[in-house]
Structure 1
């Protein structure tokens, strides 16, 4: 089995009731900025079809170095501060590597 250097990341979290529009606006701005980062192959947010307050980011990075650099960007650091008031609980983050 060969592992790829690519990294897929998901982060599942809940929105506080009444904060849906503020969250959507913040995440759209974050996604737009993140997609311009070196090594970002795909970055999007999805909403659960059964639980509207449950959101998930689905990220595809060239490698772990690119994903690690993402955490140091000003736009993510600013978003993390703002997210604190919009999220209901903590995010559950998972990292994956594809294999063949």
Structure 2
């Protein structure tokens, strides 16, 4: 069964450029994962410091692979220090 993840991030205004650089690399690498069907990020129109990652995986194994991948762990390790608040993540 497909898994959808929606992850919302509020980035500190001083770190948006760094966040975008890391996010672009993360998107590029994640799209290469076998279990990934769709992976992208969007910037909010109302607040240019808010971002949403929209992800679709073939199944839970695809999600598990992504969450343990070196590129994800490297990115999330840096991204968490760039945020104004905890990310909101929903898995459907």
Q: TM-score, normalised by structure 1?
A: 0.88
SS of the residue 1:84 aligns to: helix
Gaps of at least 5 residues in structure 1 are none
1:49 to 18, 38, 45: 45
2:25 to 17, 29, 32: 29
Instruction: Kindly report structure 1 stretches of 4+ aligned residues shifted beyond 4 Å.
Output: none
Give the distance between the partners of 1:70 and 1:84, measured in 2 at CA.
17
The count of residues paired between Structure 1 and Structure 2 equals 92
Instruction: Report matched runs for 1:54-69 at 5 Å.
Output: 54-69=50-65
Matched, 1:15 2:11: yes
Deviation, structure 1 residue 64:
1.0
| CA radius of gyration, larger in | 1
